[in-house]
Amino acid sequence: MQQAFYDAGSVQCGYCIPGMVLSAKALLDKNPAPSSDEIRKALSGNLCRCTGYTKIEEAVKLAAERLGGGAR
């Protein structure tokens, strides 16, 4: 999970990353192939000051692919 966030370029200031990583992990544990809407909903409780969420969503999709689920 952490490597996917790094590889997707979603790690900037570090303020939101711990919560994003934990929320993404919980999502992929329940749903290994989430849609974009499901990813956004799962991460909605975390505030990001830097990235605008696009790269974070890409990181979750990348993690899903690498873990064998793939995103819809």
Q: Per 3-state DSSP, what percentage of the chain is helix, strand, and coil (rounded to 5)?
A: 55, 0, 45
Average pLDDT over residues 21-28: 97
Query: Residue 46 to residues 6, 40, 66: CA-CA distances in angstroms?
Result: 18, 10, 23
CB 37 within 8 A of CB 44: no
Give the burial class of 50: count Cβ atoms within 10 A of its Cβ; 0-12 exposed, 13-18 middle, 19 or more buried. Answer: middle
The pLDDT score that the predictor gives to residue 70 is 65
C-alpha to C-alpha distance for 55 and 53, rounded to whole angstroms: 6
pLDDT band at 71 (very low <50, low <70, confident <90, very high): low
